[in-house]
Each structure stands twice: as structure tokens, then as C-alpha cells.
A = this chain, B = another copy of it.
Amino acid sequence: VRKNARTSLEKVLAKLHPADIALIIKNLSDLDRKKIWESISDKSKIASIILELEDSQIIEFFDAMQPNEIALILNEMESDDAANILRLLDQDKVNEILKYMKKDEVEAVEELLHYPEDSAGAVMNPNFFALHEDTTIKEATKVLHKAEDVEMVFYLYVVDDEGRLVGVISLRQLILNPPEKKLKEIMTKDVIRVTVDMDREDVAKIVEKYDLLAIPVVDEQNRLVGIITVDDIIDIIREEATEDIYKMAGTTDDEVLMGNKSIKIARVRLPWLLITFVGELISGFVITFFQGRVHEFAILASFMPLIMAMGGNVGSQSATILIRGMALGKIDSKDLSKVIFKEIRVGMIMGLIMGILLALVAPIWHGDPKLGIVVGCAMFAAVTFSTFTGTFVPATLIRFNFDPAVASSPFISTLNDITGLTIYFTVSIVLLSIL
């Protein structure tokens, strides 16, 4: 971006979609980025570009700005978008910004901030299009003419005198019916709706199940208070999947907000590593415990990584199948014992195959067929047990209403290392004394 190219830059930017400008900005140096921002004077354009940025970039952008400048930009946004951005910032800064925002915006934003972060209330758009049931189609069409700033209208929600949601009409129905008819005569009365306090993941599942483009949000008195559109649903689905993936790997999506800050990222990941640390010290005790007790320890030690890794992987596979199945709604809480038994069956089959394989390989390496049978049986036992750990731990968390994704791979692997080594050495010692 050269300096004398400023005016032509402005022209180019005016033609581009905000999503494309956001993409360009992402790939520029700090200096060029600053020039781009300076060349856009239209605050609503800036607002629409910011909405396309990653959360970590939004935080970075606003970190460098004064509360009054931020307020000017947030004033240009839908109140739900503004609220979502304010959730990313420090509480002190938020209070400062709110002082400079338009009064009606502040009220709408504060109400949204009041809902818990993952509830329908927090993601809904309170700026919806609703008409009274006695409105005629002709009048409705007129109102539609004026309502230019309302987000993506494809359903018209119909309310009664008290603002309660009583029906819905698609734009298509509006076109296809005579103009003198009243909305209540043509509306669909059986409206699928959600309440403000519903978890956003459950809202997404409903929209997905019924293939909706938007879903109305009502309060306890069944009054229409907002809508959630399908583009927000897509964001929710992506974010929830990402959250689960990160949790399963032993980190959280907070990490993504940290951008390039290594120390902060390390802090997010450390809790899981500390659990691993303690767990694997116990594994170490197990090893030390058996060290003096088995004559063949040196040989058995050479298969320890195999036993631990196999148990860890198989356990993680089982846990992943269960946790993802729950998240997708393919498994529900009364299927849990069925899934546990299925996984144990699968574990026995895989344990059998891996056990036979080890029984064949071990004698080639160490030259003792008896040893092959011993470690093969131990492998079978360890792998089978790991499918139990991998499903029983998340299933128990679910039963007590904890998030099963917390039973992440690091946790399951660590647990399986302890049980796997114990099973391995115990089975080996017993068999060595029998055979």
C-alpha cells in the first residue's frame, strides 16, 4: 500500500465485501493495516469489517483504541453483535465504552449482556420484524418497505395484543395470498420457538432438525423478545465443534483468543499437563513396584510403551465415539450402557488381534514362546479394559451433568497408563508363575 495510492485504495475498498476486506487486513503488516483503517472514514463500514475479523484480531484492534472511539463504531452495529464484542473485552473497559454509546443502544446491549454467555438470549437479535395478528397483508407489505435496517427478513412473526408469539408467515405466503386478508387468517399457528435461557447448542440442534432459517426466542410469558438467524446457528455449530476438539486435546478455545502470546497459551494448556504429571508419577510408582518383583522385568519393560500407547489410543477412540455421539445427539443418556458394552466388545476384538500379533512378535525378538503368550494375554486384557475406561469415565460425567468433553484424551490416556501397566504386570506375573 503506497502512500500516494490512498484515493484509489479508498475506491477499491468501497467496492469490496467486508468479509474480503477482513481477509486482506489479516494478511497485512501492522503498518499497512493501519493505513487501510485510516483510509476508511465510514464508521458503519468499519463496523461491518470488524464483524468479519477473528475474535483475537478484534481484541487486538480495540486494545489500541480509546473507549469513545470504540463506542462510535459499536453504535453502528446490531445490538447483538455489539454485545458479543463487549463480551470479549475487560469489564472496566466495557463500562467506559457504554458511557459513550447511544442511550437506546446501551439499554439493548446491557439487556443482552445480562443473559448467560451460551444462552439463546445472548446470541439472539432483539431487532426483529413482528406484526400484530390483525394486520392485513397489504399493510404488512407497506411496513416491510420501511423496515430496511432489519436483519435478513424471511419470516414475519405474528404477535397478539400482549406481544405474545401467536404465528408465523413466510414471505412466500405473503406474496401468494390476497392483500386484504389478515395475517391471523393465513399464519401458521404452530411456531417452533425457543426460550431465552435455552443453551445455544440445543437451539442449533432444533434449527438443524427442522431446517429453519430463523427461530423466534420468547421469554417466560411467551412474549417474542428476539430471533436467531441461521448464519448465527452456523457460527454456533462451528464454535461448539471447535470447543469440543480443543477440549479433547487437552486445551480450550480460550487459547484462540491469545493470538501469539506464548505465555498465556501455555497457561491455558497447563492444567491438563499437571493432571498428566500426577497421573504418570503414579504410573512410575507402578513400574518401580514391579521392578523388584519380576525376574523378567527387563524383557517386560521393552513392551511397556506398546501396552501404554495401545491402551491410550483405544481408550481415546472409545471416548471420542461416545462424546461426539452425544454432541451430535446420536447417542442419548439411556444409550450409554449399550455404547459401553459395544465398545468393550470392539475392545475385545482389537485386543485379541493385537494380543495375537504381540504373541507372534515377542518370541522373535526375545526368543521365548512362553513369553509371547504371556505378553499377548496381558495386551488383550489391557486393551479391553481401556475401552471400559474410555466410555465409563465420560458416561459417569454425563450422568452427573458434567461436560463429557472434559474426559479428554490426556485424562483417558493417563488413567489407561496406570491401569494398563498394572494389568500388564499383574497378568504377566500370574501367567509366568503358572506356565
Contact = CB atoms under 8 A, between A and B. Distances in A.
Interface stretch (A2-10, A94-102, A114-122, A274-282): A274-282
B305 A266 contact: no
A153 interface: yes
Contact of A144 (B144, B154, B176, B208): B176
Given A262-B349, A330-B256, A324 B245 contact: yes
Contact of A305 (B211, B273, B354, B417): B417
- Best-surrounded residue of A234, A284, A314, A410 (most CB of chain B within 10 A): A284
Nearest to A238: B237
A168 to B, nearest CB: 15
Interface stretch (A65-73, A180-188, A215-223, A246-254): A246-254
A27 to B, nearest CB: 8
Contacts of A365: 281
A414 interface: yes
Contacts of A14: none
A326 interface: no
B306 A353 contact: no
A260 interface: yes
A276 B309 contact: yes
Number of copies: 2
Contacts of A250: 313, 316-317
Contacts of A280: 305-306, 308-310
A305 B283 contact: yes
A357 interface: yes
Contacts of A321: 246, 249, 251, 255
A305 B425 CA distance: 15
A345 B302 contact: no
26 contacts: A19-B210, A52-B209, A54-B330, A144-B175, A152-B213, A153-B172, A154-B213, A171-B175, A208-B238, A245-B245, A246-B321, A250-B317, A251-B317, A251-B320, A256-B330, A262-B346, A269-B314, A273-B350, A277-B306, A280-B309, A284-B303, A284-B304, A288-B298, A301-B301, A305-B421, A308-B309
